[in-house]
Amino acid sequence: MKIAIAPDSFKECLSAVEVAGAIAKGVRRALPDCDTVCVPMADGGEGTVDALVAATNGRIVELTATGPMGTPVATRYGLLGDGGSAVIEMAAVSGLPLVPPETRDPRIATTYGTGELLRDALDRGASRIIIGLGGSATNDGGAGAAQALGVSLRDAGGRELPPGGAALARLATIDLSRRHPRLHPCVLEVACDVDNPLCGPTGASRVYGPQKGAAPAVVDELDAALRHFGEVIEAQLGVPVLDVPGAGAAGGLGAGLVAFAGGVLRPGVDIVADACHLTSRIAGTELVITAEGRIDGQTPHGKTPAGVARAARQLGIPVVAIAGSLGPGHEAVHDCGIREVIPIQAGTMPLAEAMARAPELLAAAAERVARAWARKHRRSRQT
């Protein structure tokens, strides 16, 4: 028997590699002779770098870059095993957890550090870069990242704009003449699992601004600034960004990467699946086990289990999902092709205990899945 294991990470608990290892351990306890194929996955958010580096035998690059509030932070990104691709999580350098709650201010927070990671990858020869959006502390439309890549953004007096989303209201001129020369031939894939536009009622500022420290008046200020920013981009560069689904991701970084770096927005799980060669690696298996820390009604909308199930369905392979916890609407995943959802804990268990025991609980759940599948397999052969 051959079983594929393609999980996401359990956020703040286990990486996708660790989750896959725990599941494989449980499967082998039930079926010692089973051939397991581990494909650690992600959907563009936390864990994407580790998943892709592990899947491709790549390596981690560690460096210091500019954090969201302008101070240096230690950060990292991945170079994939093909020798020409890099993977970046913007949250690793421009993320909300890097800023204490009392100092959060999206009016001045910058994505400059994200641009520095992109620049470093380009300087190392990357011809394809995957960048995961999400978890940002910023609302600058990717202006900081663009400036780190050599784009000049000036006000009416010819002065370079300072960091942050508020300054975008003063944008008058965009100059691409000193943009990084390797950006044009580079393929930039932007992993995005939201469809928010740049501005408006469902835009970056109104939906995500409050969690980044924006009071109602600041939300209005930032939304107007992003609208002006988008209008100048469309007028001077001829690149539509205002109404593009996903342009509002990561405080408008989606729009900035499209406008200044030729980025293409795609569902994160699809990008990761392609990079991991998910379809070819699960082909020929009899069962796929996927997993996520929480499975709920949002899981079908771009999360890893849904993407794995979609790939398996095309091959006619059944899928079982293991969940750290179940939330409202988790039954919707059955419509994606997931036959069964197995929680790792029976009854109630304190979250801290469940997280501490996650490897053990995952292995036990996987063992139950494998034993049940083996029984069904034997019965089908007998009939």
Domains defined for the chain, CATH in brackets: 2-41+278-382 (3.40.50.10350), 48-266 (3.90.1510.10)
The single-letter code of the amino acid at 355 is M
pTM: 0.85
What pLDDT, on the 0 to 100 scale, is given for residue 383? 54
Distance (Å, whole) CA 366 – CA 49: 25
User: What percent of the chain stands above pLDDT 90?
Assistant: 85
What pLDDT, on the 0 to 100 scale, is given for residue 281? 96
pLDDT tens sequence across 75-94: 999 999 999 999 999 999 99
Distance of CA 71 to the CA centre of its chain: 24
* pLDDT band (50, 70, 90) for residue 259: very high
pLDDT higher than 70, residue 184 = yes
- pLDDT mean over 247-276: 94
Task: Read off the tokens for 343.
Answer: 């929680």
pLDDT tens sequence across 317-350: 999 999 999 999 999 999 999 999 999 986 678 8
* pLDDT band (50, 70, 90) for residue 27: very high
What pLDDT, on the 0 to 100 scale, is given for residue 381? 61
pLDDT tens sequence across 189-215: 999 878 899 999 999 999 999 999 999
What pLDDT, on the 0 to 100 scale, is given for residue 241? 97
What pLDDT, on the 0 to 100 scale, is given for residue 377? 74
pLDDT tens sequence across 225-246: 999 999 999 999 999 999 999 9
pLDDT higher than 80, residue 378 = no
- Spatial contact of 309 and 278, defined as CB atoms under 8 Å apart: no
What pLDDT, on the 0 to 100 scale, is given for residue 194? 80
Task: Read off the tokens for 373.
Answer: 């599948």
Distance (Å, whole) CA 342 – CA 340: 6
Cβ neighbours of residue 365 under 8 Å, at least 6 residues apart? Answer: 23, 26, 322, 342, 343, 344
